[in-house]
Structure 1
């Protein structure tokens, strides 16, 4: 996957802001430039070949109490398809908006709601 451009980051950040307009849920996107050690490290090292690609949607405890991790599998598949089709940022943005709609059902916006997490994409 190519590095995210400023335009990609803006598209994703705007999707987060849009998704959070009607929910008290907070959405944060982190893109890892590389992974740390993992279980198959020795095998990868031995072969000098290997790629780890992971796409995860991780819900915090309050949201996980209502939605299981399996609830997000369709959205993960959409993100993976976006990567395959070279449309990562646009598909991720659509997934973010979908998740915002899902969260609105059980976590509607509150009168005193504030934006606790930055809408900016974090690259690590």
Structure 2
């Protein structure tokens, strides 16, 4: 799926995006995604307890490269702040790179786009705490 260098690249993009925001971004890459990727992202979001952040400002980027599926799921604080086409814009940016076979770059572009939104709504605070890990979640 992803090699160590690509995983590190994605982790660093998460850390860069979160360095300007109190929001939380996580990435889950899975081999199998049966059914609707948004439903799978919703389930994974809650399984990871991403709905437990203080400001409800977590976002999960969920990708299944082998099934050519991806979804972005934002918690209530994020979802209420976005315009209707934002997730589509971020997904299109990701898919553009996916089609060229560059999964890691696509994910990094998606993380960057999501980071822009979170930054505008949830700027970094003086006493910011990283509530969720930045590591990439890999699933079989």
Q: Alpha carbon RMSD of aligned pairs, Å?
A: 1.8
Count matched residues: 110
Give yes or no for the alignment of 1:24 onto 2:39: no
Equivalent positions of 1:1-124 (< 5 A) are: 3-36=1-34, 38=35, 52-68=67-83, 70-124=85-139
- Tell me how far apart the structure 1 counterparts of residues 90 and 73 of structure 2 sit (CA, whole Å): 12
- Tell me how far apart the structure 1 counterparts of residues 20 and 10 of structure 2 sit (CA, whole Å): 17
Q: Specify the structure having the higher radius of gyration (Cα).
A: 1
How far does the alpha carbon of each residue in 1:78-120 deviate from its partner, in whole angstroms, 9 at most, with x for none?
Answer: 2112111011111221221222122111110111111111111
Note if contact 2:9-2:104 (Cα within 8 Å) is conserved in structure 1: yes
Which structure has more relative contact order (CA 8 Å, sep 6+)? It is 1
Shift in CA distance, 104/114, structure 1 to aligned 2, threshold 3 Å: same
TM-score computed with the length of structure 1 as normaliser:
0.80
TM-score computed with the length of structure 2 as normaliser:
0.72
Unaligned 5+ segments in structure 2 are 37-65
